[in-house]
Amino acid sequence: MNSANRVVTMAHGSGGRAMQQLIEEMFLTAFSNSFLNQREDQARMSLSELALQGDRLAFTTDSYVIDPIFFPGGDIGKLAVCGTANDLAVSGATPAFMSCGFILEEGFSLDTLQILVDSMANTARQYGIQIVTGDTKVVPRGAADKIFINTSGIGVIPQAVEWSAKNIAVGDKIIVSGTLGDHGAAILNLREKLDMQLDVSSDCAVLSDLIAPLRPLAGVHALRDATRGGVNAILHEYAAASGLGIEIDESSLPVKSAVRGICELLGLEPLNFANEGKLVIVTSADSAPHVLERLHQHPLGVDAACIGEVVSTAKILLRGSYGITRLLDLPYAEPLPRIC
Amino acid sequence: MNSANRVVTMAHGSGGRAMQQLIEEMFLTAFSNSFLNQREDQARMSLSELALQGDRLAFTTDSYVIDPIFFPGGDIGKLAVCGTANDLAVSGATPAFMSCGFILEEGFSLDTLQILVDSMANTARQYGIQIVTGDTKVVPRGAADKIFINTSGIGVIPQAVEWSAKNIAVGDKIIVSGTLGDHGAAILNLREKLDMQLDVSSDCAVLSDLIAPLRPLAGVHALRDATRGGVNAILHEYAAASGLGIEIDESSLPVKSAVRGICELLGLEPLNFANEGKLVIVTSADSAPHVLERLHQHPLGVDAACIGEVVSTAKILLRGSYGITRLLDLPYAEPLPRIC
């Protein structure tokens, strides 16, 4: 990694000295922790220490292929930590350990890689997440587009937290933790070179601190974070898992005016737009005000709103401003590829 | 996934119906188990059940980018299960749970994907591994080469099994569990179109059943599986972790004649060639015969051999057939890119 050769070469993915150097000088330095530093083929954690935090392990994985790799509000490295952390946190777990698998294109800038690695390390550290095991592959120029990152995560779910789409009941309220579609709008604006002077950034964030105060609340039935496919995809998942339907009040949807503008211009629906830091919570009607109150107390939850409720008819309905309801289908595809 | 459109499309990676269909019809069907079938954003496992198997969690990750995706002895799907299972098994853990992240190129054949998914499912099932959580991304044609797979794995290390490179001591014996370089030779022959009529297949295999009988043996100090970088890379890892050296007896290396032939033809060293089902074990001299005996009793260990010993001088030395030793450097790069 001398300054004369600051790009990823095939040698960085081989089992030889070049890879060892990259691991030592970049990954071990940035991610340094007592598990990773053992340099075994696997991280090893005490089960009895994990059991102090709860009774169930949560385990999840996501690969990140977003294009472009830098965007307002984040980058692929930050996203790779936030996305996987959130898939753990929505179970009630505290994200604790993460793996990191890089697929790098030959010729990718090592300086850029360093920026992304530092971004991962900073995001992880900020939320007490340790990156404890990893892997690096390099493919020849043209066999991958710049960089793909996989992160898998482990956390522990506290006893008595039992959030699951199976708990959803008729009359439950649907709450979103903030404005819809910020991530999708930011990426669309950037990538499609719309050159709109939009004051909108990705909402890419780790939500564990927003979620933690909800754990003691009875009546919280299910939590998921809305990413690809938007809030609409989560509503359809909830409906499929519960066998029930959901009615959404269109006028209650929190949408930034810039995002609403881009949606109207392009004929898109904010409910279908991607987010990277928004919860869709199903809670009993009694608990809904308490959930909203706790969300509003956190900077990431100030725009939280109740957007609808669970109904017995197994359909997703959108009630418009004139009181007319229409069926909200799940589109066959997202409007935007490589959004995460 | 109707027969008129049997290729991966961008829609299969979006959050919409096409992705739901792919997940339901292909992944959930092939990998079906009680964790995955919950269809939550994360798999949830009882910590008290895990604690019945041991006292430490092992956690590891690998991405697989091998080219070509089918080869004698395996395919990228089988490899993705074997490689990650082995990174768990060498800690003494029984591989139990795996995640699976696909990055697919637009236009990739769905029929081929089905074959690879079935191959993963069959390999996992054969060794009691459950694929409990997953993710699918699709990138446009040309942004990835066919298919990349990440698997991360979890297992539990039984109490009292303490295998680590830090335990290595002067006088310890180095044992390999079988012939060297079979995977590297098979891929090289196939990809470089050498068209040699080689009777050599990849050794791609899950090694947990070969390893399990070694757990009760006192004197086993360290285990790793040799992949990229070959046995040589592991020897250098052992030397670096212990601050000691290793002397290898060249005449004792188990190498198939076909692999030896390809190495001599191309001026390559079997010790640097990749494997996908071979252990490098460090054991006390007293225990070495018992380790060999147990390895020889398993079909995957019939060619196991003692190839050298740990010495106090911090160098890796290769003693040739005339008694002359030479320094065994770790090459800067593997001879062959995209070997796994």
Tell me the shortest Cα–Cα distance from A159 to chain B, in angstroms: 11
Report the 10 Å Cβ neighbour count for B145: 18
Amino acid letter for position B263: C
Is B302's pLDDT higher than 80? yes
Q: How far is CA B245 from the centre of its chain?
A: 25
Mutate to test the interface with B, among A1, A34, A41 (most CBs of B within 10 A): A41
Question: Is B16 in CB contact (< 8 Å) with chain A?
Answer: yes
Tell me the shortest Cα–Cα distance from B198 to chain A, in angstroms: 24
Mutate to test the interface with A, among B1, B53, B137, B235 (most CBs of A within 10 A): B137
Look at the alpha carbons of A168, A248, A339, A78 in this order and tell me if their dihedral is positive or negative: negative
% pLDDT > 70, chain A: 98
Show which of residues 204-263 on chain B sit within 8 Å of chain A, judged by CB atoms: 224-225, 227-230, 233, 236-237, 241
Show which of residues 268-307 on chain B sit within 8 Å of chain A, judged by CB atoms: 274
Show which of residues 132-151 on chain B sit within 8 Å of chain A, judged by CB atoms: 132-135, 137-140, 142-145, 148, 150
Is B216's pLDDT higher than 70? yes
- Lowest-confidence pick of A129-143, B95-109, B191-205: B191-205
Question: Is B101 in CB contact (< 8 Å) with chain A?
Answer: yes
pLDDT band at A333 (very low <50, low <70, confident <90, very high): confident
Are A339 and A67 a contacting pair, CB within 8 Å? no
Is B194's pLDDT higher than 80? no
pLDDT band at A4 (very low <50, low <70, confident <90, very high): low
Backbone Cα Rg of chain B: 21
- Global ipTM: 0.96
pLDDT of B3 reads: 47
Is B154's pLDDT higher than 90? yes
Question: Is A2 in CB contact (< 8 Å) with chain B?
Answer: no
CA–CA gap between residue A7 and residue B221 (Å, rounded): 38
The number of residues in chain A equals: 340
Q: Inspect the interface and report whether the beta carbons of A148 and B103 lie closer than 8 Å.
A: yes
Domains, chain B, ordered by start: 3-157 (3.30.1330.10), 165-327 (3.90.650.10)
SS3 A245: strand
Give A142's contacts in chain B (Cβ within 8 Å): 142, 145
pLDDT of A337 reads: 81
Q: DSSP assignment, residue B144? A: B
Mean pLDDT for A27-49 is 96
pLDDT of A322 reads: 87
Q: How many CB pairs under 8 A join A and B?
A: 285
pLDDT of A5 reads: 61
Q: Inspect the interface and report whether the beta carbons of B331 and A133 lie closer than 8 Å.
A: no
Tell me the shortest Cα–Cα distance from B92 to chain A, in angstroms: 11
pLDDT band at A3 (very low <50, low <70, confident <90, very high): very low
Q: Which of A103, A156, A227 sits opposite B63 (nearest CB)?
A: A103
Q: Inspect the interface and report whether the beta carbons of B16 and A90 lie closer than 8 Å.
A: no
Q: Inspect the interface and report whether the beta carbons of A233 and B16 lie closer than 8 Å.
A: yes
Tell me the shortest Cα–Cα distance from A306 to chain B, in angstroms: 22
Q: Which of A50, A142, A225 sits opposite B57 (nearest CB)?
A: A50
The number of residues in chain B equals: 340
Mean pLDDT for A150-154 is 98
pLDDT of A195 reads: 66
Alpha-carbon distances of A233 from A175, A240, B322, rounded to whole Å: 15, 11, 69
pLDDT of A336 reads: 80
pLDDT tens-digit series, residues A101-142: 999 999 999 999 999 999 999 999 999 999 999 999 999 999
Q: Which of A20, A61, A103 sits opposite B148 (nearest CB)?
A: A103
Q: Inspect the interface and report whether the beta carbons of A57 and B45 lie closer than 8 Å.
A: yes
**Nearest CA among A103, A110, A20, A6 for reference residue B334:** A20
H-type alpha helices, chain B: 17-22, 29-31, 47-51, 76-89, 110-126, 182-191, 208-211, 230-242, 257-266, 288-296
| Averaged confidence pLDDT in chain A | 95
Question: Is B95 in CB contact (< 8 Å) with chain A?
Answer: no
Burial of B257 (0-12, 13-18, 19+ CB in 10 A): exposed
Give B57's contacts in chain A (Cβ within 8 Å): 44-47, 50, 57, 154
Tell me the shortest Cα–Cα distance from B221 to chain A, in angstroms: 13
Q: Which residues contact B230 (CB under 8 A, 6 or more apart)?
A: A15, B180, B181, B184, B269, B270, B271, B272, B273, B274, B275
% pLDDT > 90, chain A: 88
Is B4's pLDDT higher than 60? no
Q: Which residues contact A179 (CB under 8 A, 6 or more apart)?
A: A203, A254, A255, A256, A259, A278, A303
Closest Cα in chain B to A227:
B15
Question: Is A338 in CB contact (< 8 Å) with chain B?
Answer: yes
Mean pLDDT for A178-206 is 88
Closest Cα in chain A to B234:
A15
